[in-house]
Structure 1
Amino acid sequence: MTGMKAFFGTFIKEIKLLTRDPAGLILLFLMPSAFIISLSLALEGTFMTVEKSVNKYKIAVVNNNTGHDGKNIIDLFEKSGKLIVLTNFEKTLLSEERARRAIIDSDIIAAVIIPQLDKNRDRRAEIKLIIDPGLANEVGSFLQYSLQQYIYISEIARLNIEKNMLQKSIYPQTVEYKANLGTIASNSGDFSIKKYYALREATTDIIPTSVQQNVPGWTIFALFWIAQILGINILGEITDGSFRRVKVSPTSERIWLTGKIVPYFLINLLQVLFLFALGVYLMPKIGLPALEIHNTGALVILTLAVSLCAISLGVLFAALSRSSFMLSSFSAMILLLMSVLGGIMVPKFVMPPVMQDFSMWVPHGWAIDGYMNVLVKQSGIRDILPAVYRLLIFSLLFFSAGYLALKSKLGRI
């Protein structure tokens, strides 16, 4: 009971200290917001250029349909004037697996798999639309809309045929049957469309939009920047003599430290909510693509791991520093260097291979890979576990080293 009371006492004290500087608190939210908005606007054209240069709007059509439907869909895409339709690749007739591999290798942006209709089926035949997860939403929507339009028009044509045949059977002398419908198949309404994603093995192959890069990127930057503020706060309480009161009280160093770091952990979570809300709601208002979140559970787990790693790093900063000036100087250098190497300030997909290798050893790199998996590849919890495990291991290392060094420092007071 005494421990809980001491914890809440330290926690409330820390909250009061934070609210005494509302300008600094607001800056923790406004600074990354300014980076997200300005850089997303400035770099949107660059990201679109990279995406177009890689994908080139080529699509594959694997036509397993022996009727008119396959040819009609191919003609529909070719007449759009926006797509290059491939039915063969490297002089080989495309299969579904080969088309998926071509998407993963960035040779094409999407593939349409047209099935053969089974007369004995009990449900609609499924047209598969396989797309690159990093593809701009507008292009994916165009492909899906084109297929739906074909199905709807074909269904209307089929109904017109049935209507005319019925009228001819009832009024054979007054109704002239005309079925000038070209080669539209009468059974196209028996198709359905389902969208799939061709997932890559390496996150660095994905071309995100500027919003998908900058929102999680600068959120990670803000989360880790709290390490400097926490470190300065802990060190300040040690150097100004405030900690001596803790030593003469029954409160342990562990409870005191926990009470100090929990408010910063909560601030981190509020930062994520605020910055991701900007991506979801504000970005579309200023002409940028909206940030789409498909797996909230994976996002929450990853965010908790990133925040824990940042807080643990703050404890280590406090333990290794002798003064606030020293802490602010070397922590800023380390955090900025980690942001560059981790793909925050410079997107990983434009880095040379050697720099991409460096990013695999930096917590920022694991964090941005995890967010790219969730936001771009629309992966689930299982797919982000490698990044979460690395972040948790480093959190344990940072906190253990920081706590032991801090305990040694406190013992000398």
Structure 2
Amino acid sequence: MAVDFSSGILGFVLKHWLILGFYFLVILLVFIYRKKFQFQLKFIALCRTKLGLGLMDRIASRHAELVKLFGYVGIGAGFMGMAFIVMVLAQSVFTLLTVPGSPSPITPVLPGVRIPGTPDAFFVPFVQGIIAIFIVAVVHEFAHGVVARAHGVSIKSSGPAIIGPIFAAFVEPDERQLRKKDDVVNYSVFAAGTFSNILLAFVALFMLSAVFVPVGSAFFSPDGVVLRGVEPGSPAAAAGLRQGMPVMAVDGQPVDSLKDNALLGLQFLAPNKTVVFSDGASEFIVVAAQGGDGRGRLGIVMEQAWKNQGTAGFAVFSWVQQLLALVATLSFGIGLANMIPVGPLDGGKMLHLAMTKLRGEKKANRAFVKFSILLLIVILFLLSPIFKAIIKSVAGIF
């Protein structure tokens, strides 16, 4: 089930009552139990508990050296992730400025909500999205807590959190104790969450490739290729291609698998190259636009279609497979997003600590604030296509 904004307000409510009801219930529960929540900046709600603290202590005490090593390795991964995400943001700004009609390269993660102005590939299913975010958030915060405990830093509390409409979790180490530790300990605690998310993503991908792909042959047989998504305003959309359309042939060559040469060649298209798609009944002529990397861009996302063999357990297998794929995607994406060197994010804490050691506290504070403001402006600019699309869609409801 997905929320869209294409119908009138009554139809919108009737069509998406389950998702709207869920978010309303969350808001109602937070209001009823507001005394158990601590509110920050008006839109962040923290429910302080002792959940998981005992398990953190046991793991940290029994495997202290291994946990510390995990944190130390995470420092390198954290700084590399920080550099990577900054380069991605810079490249995205260039693309948005030079390629007219480019979609936003970043998007909020709102399960069940099809956010206007974002490619269909960015959509997160409702139930699987809630579960995946819970898994990713718990692993992230648990890693912070275990590494902190391995270095003798107390954990005051942990629990669920709500940041606007986004679900999260938190672990609260004793900041005074942490500040007294050396820089390496601080870096390792800050980087532990992102490093654990990256490892979780690889574990999920390994399970998909080593278990679900081989086992999947018992449930499925290939059944052609379909368009998973078509970007609004893209060359593909202009040519009439639509989401869910089967791709039977490309440039006259029959297509049955994503590994077919006709489809593999689309990765290396030159700008202005003409590609002819066929759905078996009609042909669609698409002229590639220039993408941000200089290659041709069609504006489509394709996926392998599979035929259900009718074996019992197909629905459960497919659901779990999709959940694992979502965990891998969100774990990698959310982990890297936490390395954006801004404000209270883990990447911001690491950068601020490094700048303090290099330039002194006063100069570092001034420079860090300016850099954070610059990055926030960049992020808002990258989100601007979404803001415009939301305003247009909401206006359409009324």
The TM-score with structure 2 as length reference comes to 0.23
Structure with the higher helix share, 1 or 2: 1
The TM-score with structure 1 as length reference comes to 0.23
**Bigger Rg, structure 1 or 2:** 1
